[in-house]
Amino acid sequence: MSQTLIKNGYYGNYGGSFVPDEVQKVLDRIAEEFAKVKDDPDFNNELNYYLKEYAGRETPLYFARNLTEKLGGAKIYLKREDLNHTGSHKLNNVLGQILLAKRMGAKRIIAETGAGQHGVATATAAAMFGMECTIYMGAKDTKRQALNVFRMELLGAKVVAVDKGNGLLKEAVDEAFMDLVKNHDNTFYLLGSAVGPTPYPEIVEHFQSVISRESRAQHLEKEGKLPTAVIAAVGGGSNAAGAFAHYINDENVRLIGVEPAGAATITKGKPGVLHGFKSYVLQDEEGNLLETDCIAAGLDYPGVGPLHAYLHESGRGEYVTVTNDEVLDAFQVLSRTEGIIPALESSHAVAYALKFAPTLSPEDTIIVNISGRGDKDVQQVFELLKNK
């Protein structure tokens, strides 16, 4: 099982909670309630109902025959998280947390969003459950992602543009925590990645672990053995955490996280505290965040979930980088060979698989987590290719 790595809110030296006392009190209540529901059969029956009937799970583990034949080497399987409702893995976590919120009696959901994907998934579920929803988004991000702001509003959410500081994700997170402290009687903060103060990384990992719960059983059924490696893109680290979770104790399965070369938190960062938790952070000697350069908005984050810091340090996980050009290439290769347009985030995992699979033998198998679909990125790629 996936929850054996966390002890008292820490994955090894990473995680924890670095927040003011009044935030801590609210987080303690969430942790307590999560501990009660996570193995509760009624809760899990209800969650599984929505995962199946609303999100469309289980998602296929698709054998990419054309890509495998083109590359030679390992057999490549794609875990199709892009087929979830709203087009990515994000809804897995949102459905889990919104049911937790309902258990806690919350009537109102708040969330942070950077690129808008988590905000859209949250607004979607809030609409379905008939809950009031407020999304905090950096003012600069609301301008860059105007269409996602419209989507959230269409879904009935209120989008608050935060123009403090740099007007980016960090300020949106701060604002969401302030709202939570003020309104915790009726409000639940639905956090979007495997980051933040404890218990959020554990909650998000738990609700995303459905990815590897399925893929493990699917792979065993198709191949009669476990895969050689599982590959996933790492931003905050939620889709990778979910894709890895049920293999962590299978020492022979290689777990490979792929970061953008221009936002390589694990490969190039240092231990530090960001957004209320300890992990690797991209910052200079004075603690200023470093600029990131990444074509996938969903991976453009200067921190990373504490699980990945721990897997990296313990040697259980391997973390690699790919360049923007390799990602653009992978986006097109998967589209042409398999008729699947992957999200630019997921294209990072694909890009590494393109290099890695040919180094293995035909007896090997790899699972590439396709965290989302690429429709949202088609215009951006069109512009990027035009200017090449």
Residues that bind ligand PLP (CB under 6 A): 88, 90, 117, 193-194, 233-240, 298-299, 343, 345-346, 371-372
Closer to ligand PLP by CB, 197 or 298: give it.
298
Yes or no: say if 377 and 345 are a contact pair by the CB < 8 Å rule: no
Least separation in angstroms between CB 160 and ligand PLP: 20
Q: What is the DSSP string of 109-161?
A: EEEEESSSHHHHHHHHHHHHHT-EEEEEEEHHHHHHTHHHHHHHHHTT-EEEE
Closer to ligand PLP by CB, 80 or 184: give it.
80
3-state secondary structure 80-92: EHHHCHHHECHHH
Least separation in angstroms between CB 84 and ligand PLP: 10
Least separation in angstroms between CB 270 and ligand PLP: 20
Active-site amino acid positions: 90, 112, 371
Closer to ligand PLP by CB, 75 or 345: give it.
345
Closer to ligand PLP by CB, 96 or 360: give it.
96
Closer to ligand PLP by CB, 90 or 206: give it.
90
Question: Position 126: which residue type?
Answer: A
Chain position whose Cβ is nearest to ligand PLP:
372
Residue 193 CB contacts under 8 Å (≥ 6 apart), including other chains = 118, 204, 235, 236, 237, 238, 301, 305
Beta strands (DSSP E) in the chain are 6-7, 10-11, 14-15, 61-63, 75-80, 108-113, 132-138, 158-162, 187-189, 229-233, 254-260, 270-274, 277-281, 317-322, 365-370
Least separation in angstroms between CB 137 and ligand PLP: 14
Structure tokens at 318: 């391997």
Closer to ligand PLP by CB, 299 or 354: give it.
299
Yes or no: say if 315 and 254 are a contact pair by the CB < 8 Å rule: no
CA distance 258 to 157: 33
Least separation in angstroms between CB 74 and ligand PLP: 22
Least separation in angstroms between CB 40 and ligand PLP: 25
CA distance 26 to 356: 44
